[in-house]
A and B are shown apart, each in its own frame.
Chain A
Amino acid sequence: SQQGEEDPQALSIQEGENATMNCSYKTSINNLQWYRQNSGRGLVHLILIRSNEREKHSGRLRVTLDTSKKSSSLLITASRAADTASYFCATDQAGTALIFGKGTTLSVSS
């Protein structure tokens, strides 16, 4: 079963615009991780945010976590064509398995 649900399923923007993707989950978590995947192969780890954190930044990426609403968001600022990919949130409930959503497909056109 998949705990996380990303929204929207697909997003198309122009280069330079910001992209926001949301993730909702169902049960309490230890941490939440965001990944990027190109062409259906390996996942690239973007950010891990722990349950006692509310916001983290990494370069052009900003992740927020609201445990009361069981939701997280990933913001990519000043997007580039190279950001075109699928983005997944994954929740870690017990320190073992990650539970992934179905992902958001981001398309950035120049």
Chain B
Amino acid sequence: GAGVSQTPSNKVTEKGKYVELRCDPISGHTALYWYRQSLGQGPEFLIYFQGTGAADDSGLPNDRFFAVRPEGSVSTLKIQRTERGDSAVYLCASSLGQGNEQFFGPGTRLTVL
């Protein structure tokens, strides 16, 4: 079956602009996660959805970052007033629920000039 997909694969934007990153989880997976990975580091957790609600957003670095999952499937990560330090690969994962394997998408490489 289809895995987790993310669009776009690459996004280049200018400092101060707004960006949206999309994640399509594996069909039937109720849990969805966003992570961010900088060069040479492991992924860092941003936010976790169970169904439509954000069950844990403790990893969001500041209020410029926001994510939604209105119908409990596709999720969008939104970054306002982008900064150069936001440049990273943004990874999405989904799972059948808490405590299960998390399956990752290919990521979106965000570059803020």
Binding site for B on A (CB under 8 A): 2, 4, 30-31, 33, 35, 40-45, 48, 88, 90, 92, 95-103
Contact = CB atoms under 8 A, between A and B. Distances in A.
Given A96-B48, A97-B45, A101-B42, A45 B99 contact: no
Nearest to B46: A97
B21 interface: no
B48 A2 contact: no
B56 to A, nearest CB: 5
Contacts of B101: 33, 45, 48
B110 interface: no
Given A41-B89, A42-B105, 10 more contacts: A2-B42, A43-B93, A43-B104, A95-B98, A96-B33, A97-B48, A98-B35, A98-B102, A101-B42, A102-B42
14 contacts: A33-B101, A40-B89, A42-B104, A42-B106, A44-B104, A92-B99, A95-B99, A97-B45, A97-B59, A98-B43, A98-B45, A99-B45, A100-B42, A100-B43
